[in-house]
Chains A and B, each alone.
Chain A
């Protein structure tokens, strides 16, 4: 099963509507962080390092619905923390389904088997399972043994019960391309609808500051991983975003594409950096100095950032903003993303970004 046609239709009509209205700063995916509490403590995660009384706080159902309506994005991603720890999560998901939002509920799957029955299978709901590689690699990334096997079991059950399921993988320095390809085979065998990929971002708050990928290494890694992809692999990404990861093309960041809302408010300017909070979405859009972010800005905090939350929105906007973008997406969808042979030293994105 792939992304439902209704989801594609919703997203396309939403984007065309925004473009027709001349709205440049439109959100595509709301990153709704209802809590920071987690049942894992991954060293690469910069989201959970807070005092205990902050970790106990959470957004209420009403606050979540209010943020979703204020933002208006057609897709709502619910990361965290671990969303399944939120006692109102089934009600929040139900509220989003009622509002016809496409939901990506991001979970490490530790509690998924136990809590799955609290959620009804729906075309609007996808469990997006955090999986950072094969068993050894994943357990190492999440700093706890046995988590990979629990997640695999939960994925198999969820797929069998008719839920939409994707994997969600962050790749850090030292990731092995061959093992990553084997991991994709495993996910395909499990029957996930699609796989999501992102290079890690070096959070200044993450305890581990040595394991994040500089830009050139990111291109090289993803070329090796994605060159000659297998037919069984399905990615939950625009083909142009995969080309971007592999250095075939350059995209600037669209930080307003995935705005973030959490217990502190609307986070400036993006999902990863914390440069203050606003009380309203309108205020976020109108008062953030967007020109100070992204690779073009020369902001050192953005220099090596290539994450999904900042760049997929650019790829999607490019698709619907130009004929070449549209044709490239059609070509990439039919024939697969254009990935240069890793033996070729030429990385077009580096040349393009230097212009």
Chain B
């Protein structure tokens, strides 16, 4: 299983798991929302975009809050990849294929009309 397949929507990791740090990196890189549970029971649902090395904290834009929230890594209990990965979309190739088919269709119609 590739990394992008492993760290996809629905994946959950807990702080005591062996590959927690690797999963944290993947979560920062993930282009969907995550849900982070911390020690005091609070749950943050939002976009995790950075690990602040100086403050050893995860930086999150909560879904319903305009400000950035910093969550100390040592407080994190569980992280879930809950949002859809927005980077896995329609490919340029699919668009080019569709356009190619359209052009072929137009050409075929033009040939028919000429005949």
Q: Which A residues are closer than 8 A to B by beta carbons?
A: 41-44, 46, 49-51, 53-54, 57, 140-141, 143, 205-208, 210-211, 263-265, 274, 276-277, 287
Give the CA-CA distance A53 to B93 in the complex, in Å. 28
Contacts of B89 in A (CB 8 A): 41, 43, 49, 207
A205 touches which one: B31, B46, B96 (CB < 8 A)? B31
Contacts of B33 in A (CB 8 A): 51
- Contact A140 B99, CB 8 Å, known A43-B90, A49-B31, A54-B47: yes
Contacts of B50 in A (CB 8 A): 264-265, 276-277
Main secondary structure of the interface of A (DSSP, over half): loop
CB–CB A264/B93 < 8 A: no
Contacts of B83 in A (CB 8 A): 51
CB-CB nearest in chain A for B4: A204
Q: Which B residues are closer than 8 A to A by beta carbons?
A: 28-29, 31-33, 46-47, 49-54, 59, 61, 63-64, 66, 83-84, 86-93, 95-96, 99
CB–CB B96/A207 < 8 A: no
- Contact A276 B88, CB 8 Å, known A54-B61, A140-B95, A140-B96: no
A136 CB to closest chain B CB (Å) equals 8
CB–CB B92/A143 < 8 A: yes
Contacts of B95 in A (CB 8 A): 43, 140, 143
CB–CB B53/A44 < 8 A: no
Give the CA-CA distance A10 to B96 in the complex, in Å. 43
Give the CA-CA distance A49 to B91 in the complex, in Å. 13
Contacts of B66 in A (CB 8 A): 57
B99 CB to closest chain A CB (Å) equals 6
CB–CB A57/B61 < 8 A: yes
Give the CA-CA distance A264 to B51 in the complex, in Å. 11
- Contact A277 B92, CB 8 Å, known A49-B87, A53-B61, A57-B66: no
Contacts of B63 in A (CB 8 A): 51, 53
CB–CB B99/A277 < 8 A: no
CB–CB B86/A49 < 8 A: yes
Contacts of A44 in B (CB 8 A): 92
Contacts of B28 in A (CB 8 A): 276
A51 touches which one: B29, B32, B64, B99 (CB < 8 A)? B32
CB-CB nearest in chain A for B65: A53
Known pairs A207-B89, A208-B93 / 17 extra A-B pairs, C-beta < 8 Å: A50-B47, A51-B31, A51-B32, A51-B33, A51-B86, A53-B47, A57-B61, A141-B92, A205-B87, A207-B90, A207-B92, A208-B91, A210-B93, A264-B49, A264-B59, A276-B28, A277-B59
Give the CA-CA distance A162 to B96 in the complex, in Å. 37
Give the CA-CA distance A141 to B99 in the complex, in Å. 11
A-B pairs with beta carbons under 8 Å apart, 8 shown? A41-B89, A50-B47, A51-B31, A53-B46, A53-B63, A207-B89, A211-B93, A264-B49
Give the CA-CA distance A320 to B38 in the complex, in Å. 53
A289 CB to closest chain B CB (Å) equals 11
B35 CB to closest chain A CB (Å) equals 12
Top 10 nearest A-B pairs (CB, nearest first) are A43-B92, A208-B92, A49-B87, A49-B86, A207-B89, A205-B87, A277-B50, A143-B95, A49-B31, A208-B91
